Amino acid sequence: KEFMLLGNMAVAHKVQRAFPERALLAPYPLSQTGCLSTCPRPSGQEGPAVDLSSQSQLSEKSLTETFGDDTYSLARKEVLTNMCSRPMQMALYFCSGMLEDRTQFRHYALNIPLYTHFTSPIRRFPDLMVHRLLAAALGYRALPDLEPDAVQKQADHCNDRRMASKRVQELSTSLFFAVLVKVQPPACPLALLLLRPLTAPAPRSPGLWSLVLSLLYTTHRRAAPWSQRPW
């Protein structure tokens, strides 16, 4: 994974230097502050206080220090991490020539100035576009005959397809888990009531309860084998 990230970063800098008006980048914007403010902030009897002020405060190390590393604490940490990551915006592709403010190029999650997707051209069209730009920058082919606005239109289409795919994946997971809960009720239903004040999800977060329930199954699963349940 480290080499993948370094490869994407190196290619982003290369194509940006070679074609500052046509580079296809993938920034990760700052989280939606309004949405992040709805995340739980337990304190006192509800549990330890959690600092949600910045990305660094939500790191694996800081959450482990806050909650501990036992099974139950790890489950709570997974729930909180999921709830805090949902309000964060997805990385959206854009053409570098369409933005004047270079601070918008920044990848917030990785805390780096430039980033793109290069390593998976067989499954992502943006990676293929970046490969063509890199080949042109290295002198292996001519620069694609596309103006910045045309590159941006392709980036917008990729963004639309990516968000639609993510939405379908979330709804599919929620539907499957709803059927699973109906067939195999959780072994610890009281835990759902205890978690409700801390995890009350917004209507636009259908996958959140799926995660909470899955953690309950992981830590409090019945002894009966799954294979014995009717489907």
Both tokens assigned to 98: 């369409």
User: Is 220 a domain residue?
Assistant: no
Label residue 109 by pLDDT band (50, 70, 90).
confident
Rounded to an integer, the average pLDDT of 141-158 is 94
User: Is 4 a domain residue?
Assistant: yes
Report d(CA 180, CA 214) in Å as an integer: 10
Report d(CA 188, CA 60) in Å as an integer: 27
Higher pLDDT, 89 or 24: 24
Q: Over 80: is that where the pLDDT of 122 sits?
A: yes
Residue (of 9, 16, 25, 20) closest to 152 by Cα position = 25
Report d(CA 16, CA 137) in Å as an integer: 10
Express each pLDDT in 48-84 by its tens digit. Answer: 555 555 555 555 555 666 666 777 777 777 766 666 6
CA 84 to chain centre: 10
Q: Tell the burial category of 75 from Cβ atoms under 10 Å away from its Cβ (0-12, 13-18, 19+).
A: buried
Residues with Cβ within 8 Å of 135's Cβ and at least 6 positions away in sequence, in order, are 141
**Domain coverage including residue 21:** 1-183
User: Is 164 a domain residue?
Assistant: yes
User: Is 205 a domain residue?
Assistant: no
- Residue 133: per-residue pLDDT: 96
User: Is 222 a domain residue?
Assistant: no
User: Is 158 a domain residue?
Assistant: yes
User: Is 219 a domain residue?
Assistant: no
Q: Is the pTM of this model over 0.85?
A: no
As for how many domains the chain has, the answer is: 1
Q: What is the mean pLDDT of the chain?
A: 74
Residues with Cβ within 8 Å of 166's Cβ and at least 6 positions away in sequence, in order, are 90
Express each pLDDT in 199-227 by its tens digit. Answer: 444 444 444 555 555 555 554 444 444 44
Higher pLDDT, 125 or 41: 125
Q: Over 90: is that where the pLDDT of 132 sits?
A: yes
SS3 (DSSP) at 54: coil
User: Is 196 a domain residue?
Assistant: no
Report d(CA 61, CA 43) in Å as an integer: 19
Label residue 85 by pLDDT band (50, 70, 90).
low
